[in-house]
Structure 1
Amino acid sequence: MRFHFKKGTLIFGGWILVTGVTTLVWLIALPGTSSFEIIDTIHESAVLAVSFLVLWFIIKIRSTLLSIGWAVFCYGNAIDLLDEFTKEPIFLTTYLDFICILVGLSLFVWGIILFYSKENELNERVLRNEEKYRLIFENSPVGIFHFNSDGVITECNNSFVKIIGSSYGKLIGLNILNLVDKKITAIVRETINGKPMVYEGEYYPVTSNKVIIVQGLLSPITSTDGKSVIGGIGIIEDITERKFMEEKLRQASEHDPLTGILNRLGFFKRVENILKLSKRYDKHFAVIYIDIDDFKMLNDIHGHTFGDNVLEKFCEKVNSVLRESDIFARHGGDEFVIALPETDEKGARAFADRIQEKFKLPVNIDKIELTINLSIGIAVYPHEGKSIDELIKISDKRMYQNKQNSSR
């Protein structure tokens, strides 16, 4: 609203100024002509211009129309009143012309001042915004970089230089499309084509020797008319440490803290994939359930620390006979479960025999000679169970039956 009012003041003030000056010139050039006749002629000739001006302001803003319209109304009526009551038109019209010049000049100058003050205000606001962006750009903890439509980096901040592990001089002018990593180049190409992209993965810099994991967001930058992409802006963050901590937390959530092998959660996550492959390719796989006999008694006699050492020694011996594809987990307490991919009943029994063979000889734990006895149950997919829960339930039941038989 302020912008339109200033432009209106400037235009209207200029019109009054031109009217007054023109009238004086005509009075000097044509002394026999009444200045009121001249003013009427100018006034009539200006009606069309004023009408367009009024219409323009009606479209733009109605409050500005009121101020301009009121000024025009007062100006026209002042001329009519003077024309009706004065007997000496030359003196009074000259005086009126002088007033018009002063008023018009004042309005004109005021309009110029207001107009350019607005321009200066806008320029200052732009400069302030640019300064804010510069501070954010330079001090941001995430890497920010600009690239043109050819994929060439044109600007970057200190965080970007630090994340990449290079130098500002090497990065400016670097063409991202020439990088060896095709995944990154494909993302930049898509951004240049006008599509925002997200990237997460390992980054192998061509200008440094380290490998990092980065997460980035790339957005296209369009021309002022919005018809073409002139480049893009990228924001990247080094998430190597975060990924490392996430992996540690995942490992902790899926592994038994005492023995280091998988817990129930980790076992079920991995064995689901074995079940899917066995269904797809019509393959067997076996589940072996193991219980350490009389483990509670060992804990009661020798203490929990001794019992923990027994569990660690047991896992060490079982791991020595496992294949890389086998999945070994602590199911709870002194009970363990093993999944054997592509293994039928015969293969599962041979594997169980190898485990029993490992524990035939006594082991030395905390200077105590101990023979570890095991009870084992076996279930094989798909004949004895279609799901992991069914296979574990059946193998657990058979393990318990074997324990009962061995105690007789």
Structure 2
Amino acid sequence: MKNKDHENRLIEGLIRETRELKQDIYVQERVQEKLFHAKKEWEQTFDAIPDIVAVIDKHFIITKANKALAEKLGMKREDLIGKQCHSVIHGTVKPPDYCPHFNALSDDREHFAEVFEKNLNGHYLFSATPLKDNKGDYTGVVEIARDITEQKTAEDVLKASEARARAISDSSMDAIIVIDGKGVITYFNHAAEKMFGYRKEEVMGRELHSFLVSRKARDEYYRRLPGFEETGQCIVIGKTIELNATKKDGTNFPIELSISAFVLNGEWHSAGTIRDITGRKKMEEKLLKASVTDQLTGLLNRWGFFTLAEKQYEIAKRNRGVFSILFMDLNNLKTINDRFGHKAGDQALMDMAKILKETFRAADIIARMGGDEFTVFITDHNGAGLERAVMRHLHDNLKTFNEQEKREYKLSVSSGFAHFDPERPSSIDELMSRADELMYENKKHRKLEE
């Protein structure tokens, strides 16, 4: 009986141990299965990475390589394992100076290198991160290489474009200045340096409106600044305007300014093309002067006289002021031309102009109306005894001239006055007609006296 019980206990123990062994085997199989799936998942992830990834030991031997590296080199993965990394990746017999792997093992830091790799046929950004074992000893690195060929190509295209734009800008005869939304200068070309007298280094980062423009333009700019920062809109955008600018030496000069707006890095900027129009303005002044000036005498011509006289007329009407118009005819000009030649006649006209300038004030408007006719617009005066005082002064100057110059002819004039009455205002044309009539009456009397 005892033997039977002992046998049963032995059988039960064996069964129990068998169950436990089966359970252990099952657990181990499950662990192995999980490890297998984890490894497979890791390998799939490893190969799904588009960047080149390799694990390289401290002797520069490739121990692991992803699919991207094999495909890029046109090799089988198993053929890469065991090869020296610099021979297959860099195509060198030893690690190149820029090798991030070598540098990472030297100072225990992650290293980067951006290079063109002939073997990989492109520009790559390499990184190498040190690996250590449980004891803290270096075992190698994980090296990752990202293909940046497209990025580099785009950068090169952008640099070339910028270089062309800069070359065009710097060869421009016009100044080109770019400012950001707050008016700070971000670009200043060679023509701007020459035009304003500043070196680029002196103005970059400064507010343009604080020193290059007039106070009026500066105040207007700051008043409208918030609107431009938000919308890029301003009354001068897309227009060409004329204004005065200031050089480094403080000289003001006229410019023609064209402004455009654009967005850069999410902020509104404006570019101004500036042309120095000093020469043009001087030419315009010359042309204007020529259009209102009698070429022979330098006095105003008929159009110039009426242009200025109308302005003085409006002032007199508004202020209830007085003025007078003196109309004169140079006597015997035809006789001078006939007897002594047209050169003498021209000289007589120029002499008469000189005498009139000496006789009348700078504020008075003196003009040669054509032929032998002259007119003087005598501005604001007291009126009392004007005609007598003016004619006495004029005749004295004519007499002095005739005595001193001793020409072959004597200068004299016939004249007529017309006065503006603010109580009964007459137009310039009416006053001219009245003075002309009185001048002819004076000429008749002179002929009768002769």
Q: How high is the TM-score relative to the length of structure 1?
A: 0.63
Seen in structure 2, the aligned counterparts of structure 1 residues 224 and 152 have a Cα distance that, compared at 3 Å, is closer
Q: Which of structures 1 and 2 has the bigger CA Rg? A: 2
SS of alignment partner, residue 173 of structure 2: coil
Q: Does 1:353 align with 2:389?
A: no
Q: Is this contact kept in 2: 1:176–1:188, CA < 8 A?
A: no
Give the one of 178, 192, 198 matched to 1:166.
Answer: 198
Tell me by how many angstroms 1:178 deviates.
2.3
Post-superposition offset of 1:153: 1.0
CA distance in 2, matches of 1:405, 1:159: 69
Give the SS at the match of 2:399: coil
Shift of 1:364: 6.2
Aligned partners of 2:196 and 2:246 also within 8 Å? no
The one-letter amino acid of 1:152's match is V
Aligned to 2:219: 186
Aligned 1:137-216 pairs, distance under 5 A: 137-179=169-211, 181-189=214-222, 190=224, 193-194=227-228, 195-197=234-236, 199-205=241-247, 207-208=248-249, 210-216=251-257
**Pairing 1:257-272 to 2, within 5 Å after superposition:** 257-272=295-310
The aligned runs of 1:12-27 (5 Å cut-off) are none
**Aligned-pair distance for 1:349?**
4.2
Instruction: Return the offset for 1:356.
Output: 2.1
Query: Is the Cα contact below 8 Å between 1:191 and 1:220 reproduced in 2?
Result: no
| CA contact 1:286–1:348 (8 Å) conserved in 2 | no
Determine the structure 2 residue equivalent to 1:279: 317
User: Residues of 2 paired with 1:134 and 1:289: CA distance?
Assistant: 64
Q: What's the secondary structure of 1:141's corresponding residue?
A: coil
Which one has the bigger strand percentage? 2
Aligned counterpart, 2:359: 321
**Superposition map of 1:283-298 within 5 A:** 283-298=321-336
Q: Match of 2:321, SS? A: coil
Deviation at 1:370, TM superposition (A): 3.6
Question: CA contact under 8 A between 1:187 and 1:199: conserved in structure 2?
Answer: no
| Distance in 2 between residues matched to 1:294 and 1:157, nearest whole Å | 65
Aligned to 2:96: none
Amino acid aligned to 1:350: A
Give the gaps of 5 or more residues in structure 1.
1-115
Residues 287 and 338, structure 1, Cα contact 8 Å, conserved in 2: yes
- Measured at CA, do residues 364 and 117 of structure 1 come closer, stay the same or move farther in structure 2, by a change above 3 Å? farther
Partner of 2:109: none
More helix by share: 1
Q: Does 1:373 align with 2:412?
A: yes
Question: How far apart are the structure 1 equivalents of 2:301 and 2:404?
Answer: 24
Does the CA contact (< 8 Å) of 1:196 and 1:220 recur in 2?
no
RMSD: 3.0
CA distance in 2, matches of 1:126, 1:192: 32
Matched, 1:339 2:371: no
Q: Which residue of 1 aligns with 2:443?
A: 403
Specify which of 259, 262, 281 is matched with residue 218 of structure 1: 259
* CA separation of 1:192 and 1:121: change in aligned 2, threshold 3 A: farther
| Length, aligned pairs only | 290
What is the Cα deviation at residue 120 of structure 1?
9.6
Kept after mapping to 1: 8 A contact 2:182/2:225: no
Which structure has the higher relative contact order (CA within 8 Å, separation 6+)?
Answer: 1
Q: CA 1:192 to 1:329, structure 2 compared with 1: closer, same or farther past 3 Å?
A: farther
CA distance in 2, matches of 1:159, 1:371: 60
The change in CA–CA distance for 1:187 and 1:214 in structure 2 (over 3 A counts) is farther
Structure 1 residues 193 and 208: CA distance shift in structure 2, 3 A: farther
What's the offset of the Cα at 1:250?
1.0
